[in-house]
Structure 1
Amino acid sequence: MTQLITLTNESGMQLKLMTTGAALLSLTVPVGDEQREVLLGCKPEDYLRQQVYLNAMVGRFANRIANSVIHYQGETYHLVASQGENCLHGGKDGFDRREWSIVSLQQDKVTLSLHSADGDQGFPGECDVTLTYALENNDVLIDIQATVSKACPVNLTCHGYFNLDGKRGDVREHDLMVNASRYLPIDAMGIPLSSAPQPVEAALDLRQSRCLKEQWLSHPQLVTAKGFDHCYLLDSDAQEAAARLTSADARLTMEVFTNQPGIQIYTGNYLDGAPSRDGTLYQDYEGICLEAQLLPDSPGRPELGDPWLLPGNTYHHQTRYRFIAA
C-alpha cells in the first residue's frame, strides 16, 4: 500500500513523495515571501494511470536499450519491451511501478529500498537498491546505491518534471545551460545513432544559458524528437554545475550537480494527457526533466561507456538539485 511522506527543513523547503515508484509529488521552495511549487505532480491515486514516469525513480536501466536485448560473456538476455521493440526505463513493470520500502525516516531525510528478483523484466541477477532523498539547506540530494548478484547493467535516475515559475505554463520560456560540448544524436525512437557522440551545434549547443524557445525545432534532431530528448555528455565534474535552469521571471534558478557522466534533457514533448495534481490534464512542454545518468543503449556499445555492475561492486549515483532565489 502506498505510503505518503513529507520532508521539511529549516530553510523552508518541503518535499512530498510516496513509496509507489519512489515518486515525488511536490517540491516547494521559498522565493521571497512565497512558497513556490517547482515540480509537476499528480494525486497519488492517479499515479498508476499516467505513462510519463511522473517524478518517478526509473530503473533497472533508465533510458533506452535497443531491441530489448543485452549480451554478456556469451549469454543473451531478452528484456521486456516498453517502447515499441525497445526497452525504456527498465521495462513495462520497472522500478517506477514498484512499491518501495521505508528503511528510515527523519524530518529532512528518507531512505527507501527495493529488491528486484533475478530475471525481473529480463535482467540478470538480483538487484538491491537503497535510495535516499534529503533536504540540505537549499538542496535536494538524491543518493542511490545498488548491488547485484550477477553482472547486470544498472542505471537509475529521477524522472522529475520541473517548472520553476510556480504556476502552470510553458517551460520553454525558461533559460537553460548544460555544461556539455558533446551529445548523442538519436533516431526516431530515441536510440542513439551508430556514430560516436557528436559536438553540440546550433540549437543543440546549450553551453551558454539561453531561452529554450529560441531556435525551437530549428535543428533536425529537435524535429525528430519534437523538442529536446537528448543525452548530453558532461564536461563538468561533480564540483561544477552540470546544468542551470532559470524561471521565466528570473526569480528562481536550479543548478544540477552529479557524479554521473550524462544528463538527459527532456522538454516534456509527450506530456499531453497526463493527470495533474489539480485534477486537470497536463499539456506538452509544461515541465522539463534533467535526468543525470549513464549513457543510453550503452550495455552493448563500449564507445558509450560501461554500465555493467559486477557482484561485489556498488553502483553509486548522486545528484543534487540546488535552488537559488533572486
Structure 2
Amino acid sequence: MTPFVLENQEGLRLRGLDFGATLTSLTLPVGGERREVLLGCADEAYASQQVWLGAVAGRFANRIGGAELVRDGQRWPLDANQPPHCLHGGRDGFHRRRWQIAELAADKVRLTLLSPAGDQGFPGQLQTSLEYRLEGQDLVVEFEASTDAPTPVSLTSHAYFNLDGDGPEGDVRQHAITLRADQFLPTDASGLPLAISPVEGPFDLRSERLIGQAWLSHPQQMQAKGYDHAYLLKEAARLRGAGQAWAARVRSGDRQLAMEVYTNQPSLQFYSGNWLASTPNRAGQCYQDHAGFCLEAQQLPDSPNRPELGDPWLLPGQRYHHQTRYRFITTR
C-alpha cells in the first residue's frame, strides 16, 4: 500500500492510500487544536475490514437486486456479496483494488483504475479517474469514467465522519443534521429499496434535528438499526456551480464544527454507522456502532434494472462525471 498526504494553507490535511483509493485521515484546526474527522484504522487493517472504511465503492455503489443486470434482452450475473444482492460492486470491487497514483501535488492527487469487462460480472471495460483536492475549507471528490460497452456506473466515497473527533467513545447521534430532500427510499428487510416515498417522521430531515432524536421510533429505523436510506435531492440542492445551495448540513455534537455537502449526484445515502461494531480503529481496538456517519453521493440504488429510479447506464462515447464537496466550517 502506498500512502499520499495533501495539505493546504487553510489547515486541511488529508491522508490516503492507493489501496481502494481510501481516505485514512482528515484533520483541521478546531478551537485551537487539530481535530480528526474521519474514522480510520492501521494501514495493514484496511485489507481485512468489512465496512468500506474510507474507500471508494464501485463499480456500482449500494445494492443491485438479485445480483443481476438485465438490458436489451441480455443478462449479466453479478457477485452476490450480500446475498441475494450485489453490494457496492461486489466483494472485490473498487475498494479492494490498488489504484494508480497518476499525479500528486501539495493539495491534490489524481488516481486511476482500469476495470476490465466482466469485473465482478459487470459488462464493459471502465476507465476511471478520481481526484481528491483541498480547496479552501473544502474536500473535493471528483470522478470521471468512460466505457467501451454499456454498463451501470455509480461511484462514491464511503468515508465515515465524526465531527466531534475520532475518540474511543465516539457516537454521532448527538450530531444535528439537515438534508434537503422531500423524498426517500424505504427498504425491505434485505436493504433493497421499495417505492419512492415522501419523507416522514424521523426521515424528514428538512429541518435540523439530532440524528438520535426519537431513535428507532420508526419501523424503517428498527429494521435498519438506524438510518441507511437514499434521499432524493431536490434539483435546487444539486451542484451546478458557484453559490449553489448545499444538499446536507451536519453539526458536531459540541457545535464547534459544521460540514456541508454539495454534489451533482441525484441522491445521498445517509448511513448512521449501524454495523461498525468490531471494525478496527486507530488505537488497535474496535469501533462501536454509530461511531461515524456517511453521506454517500450516488445514483439511486437498484436503478440499473428499475427505470423509475433513474438511468445510471453509461454508454460508449459518454462521460461519467461526479463531483462532491465536503465543506468544513468552524463555528467557534
TM-score by length of 2: 0.96
The answer for unaligned runs of 5 or more in structure 2 is: none
- Taking only aligned residues, the RMSD between alpha carbons, in angstroms, comes to 0.6
1:190 aligns with 2:191: yes
Counterparts of 2:132 and 2:17, CA distance in 1:
11
Matches within 5 A, 1:26-37: 26-37=25-36
Name structure 1 gaps, 5 residues minimum.
none
The alpha-carbon deviation at position 237 of structure 1 amounts to: 2.4
Residue in 1 that maps onto 2:92: 93
Verify: 1:309 aligned to 2:314, yes or no: yes
Tell me the CA shift for residue 32 of structure 1: 2.5
Given residue 246 of structure 2, which amino acid in structure 1 is its aligned partner? A
Rounded to whole Å, the distance in 1 between the matches of 2:221 and 2:166 is: 26
1:105-144 alignment, distance < 5 Å: 105-144=104-143
Corresponding position of 1:63? 62
Q: Residue 288 in 1 paired to residue 287 in 2?
A: no
Deviates most, 251-260 or 160-169: 160-169
The question of 1:260 aligning with 2:257 is answered no
Give the distance between the partners of 2:151 and 2:238, measured in 1 at CA.
26
Distance 2:126 2:32 in 1: 44
> How do 1:1-326 and structure 2 match up within 5 A?
2-168=1-167, 169-193=170-194, 195=195, 197-235=196-234, 236-238=237-239, 239-326=244-331
1:184-216 CA distances to partner (integer Å, 9 max, x unpaired)? 0101111011x2x10000111000111111111
Question: Which of structure 1's runs of 4+ aligned residues deviate more than 6 A?
Answer: none
CA apart distance, 1:167: 3.6
- CA shift at 1:85, angstroms? 1.1
Deviations 1:130-183 (A, max 9, x none): 000000000000000001111000000000000000142111110011110100
Q: Return the alpha-carbon distance in structure 1 between the equivalents of residues 44 and 211 of structure 2.
A: 33
> Separation in 2 of the partners of 1:166 and 1:98?
28
1:99-121 superposed Cα distances (whole Å, 9 cap, x missing partner): 00011000000000000001000
User: What SS does the corresponding residue of 2:6 show, helix, strand or coil?
Assistant: strand
Count of residue correspondences = 323
| AA partner of residue 11 (structure 2) | G
> C-alpha separation between the residues in 1 aligned to 2:212 and 2:271?
14
Deviation at 1:84, TM superposition (A): 1.4
The answer on whether the counterparts of 2:78 and 2:122 sit within 8 Å (CA) in structure 1 is: yes
TM-score (norm 1): 0.98
* Equivalent residues of 2:39, 2:166 under 8 A apart: no
CA distance in 2, matches of 1:320, 1:214: 27
- Code of the residue aligned with 2:248 in structure 1: it is A
Three-state SS of the structure 1 residue aligned to 2:46 is: helix
Q: Distance in 2 between matches of 1:205 and 1:17?
A: 34
Identity between Structure 1 and Structure 2 (%): 54
Measure, in 1, the Cα distance between the counterparts of 2:166 and 2:13: 17
